[in-house]
Amino acid sequence: MNTILREILQTNVVYTPDGKALQLHSHIPQPECEIIQQWINDHQPHNLLEIGFGYGISSLFICDAIKGMQGITYHIIDAFQSSTWNTVGIYNLKKAGFETVFTFHEELSEICLPGMLKEGMTFDFALIDGFHAFDQTLVDFFYINKMLQPGGLVIFDDIQLPSTKKVVEYVSTFDCYKPLLVPDRFLKSVKARARRMIDVPEFRIHGFLKTMQDNRKWDWQKNFDY
């Protein structure tokens, strides 16, 4: 773990570029970020995309996971990095030495993603953690599905929210996706066992592996629980 990330997690404080201290909030928790790191280590993606940035916690974990890999591209989309997050996410990645690792897009994902598709961009990893309304999450996935290569991963954060859960259930009906397994060492944790006892998701992320091209016909339809 890089020193900037370790310090943030120990203190629960981040700093703006002008030195103002802010309470850490709204980030993907450490166990979930470590699961994402494990999936990256297992599948070795080289063209990565993240929607939603905030204070950059998950991004710091991702950068640690891809550090040392050759031929990496890593695109981050967050329209509110300056207005809501005081550019803290960008500042944290730069402080940690990852300034040249990522390309940042400060625009709405529903505008940015079609442009990426038009440019012919492809990805083998995508983390969806933006605006969590059902329609917004589905639109983000719609474009990612068109750019995600077979063998690629797509991960949803905040699956405890009904809106995100609906999208995850929908994606589960696609023949070209299968769930990513959470490693046993995480499933055996106290947190995971406690959450199983109260019948809630063990973790707030859910990942899928794209096993083949999406070859659905024009009239494809499968029912899903909602």
DSSP state string for 157-188: E-TTSHHHHHHHHHHTT-TTEEEPPPPHHHHT
Q: Is residue 87 part of a domain?
A: yes
Q: How would you write the pLDDT of the chain (226 residues) with one tens digit per residue?
A: 899 999 999 999 999 999 999 999 989 999 999 999 999 999 999 999 999 999 999 999 999 999 989 899 999 999 999 999 899 999 999 999 999 999 999 999 999 999 999 999 999 999 999 999 999 999 999 999 999 999 999 999 999 999 999 999 999 999 999 999 998 888 878 788 888 777 777 888 999 999 999 999 999 988 876 5
For residue 2, tell me if it sits in a domain.
Answer: no
- pTM of the entire structure? 0.92
* Residue 14 to residue 165: CA distance in whole angstroms: 30
Residue 109 lies inside a defined structural domain of this protein: yes
Q: How far is CA 126 from CA 86, 109, 129, 139, 173, in A?
A: 24, 13, 10, 14, 19
Residue 28 DSSP class: P
Q: Quick check: is 118 in a domain? A: yes
- On whether residue 143 sits in a domain, the answer given is yes
- Whether 111 maps to a domain, the answer reads yes
In this structure, what CATH number is given to the domain that contains residue 191?
3.40.50.150
**Total number of domains constituting the chain:** 1
Backbone angles phi, psi at 125, to 5 degrees: -160, 135
Residue listed under structure tokens 């995480």: 186
In a domain, 8, yes or no: no
pLDDT for position 187: 82
Domain that holds residue 124: 27-210
Residue 5 lies in a domain: no
pLDDT for the residue numbered 200: 76
Phi-psi region of 200 (alpha: psi -120 to 50; beta: other; left: phi over 0): beta
12, 120 Cβ separation under 8 angstroms: no
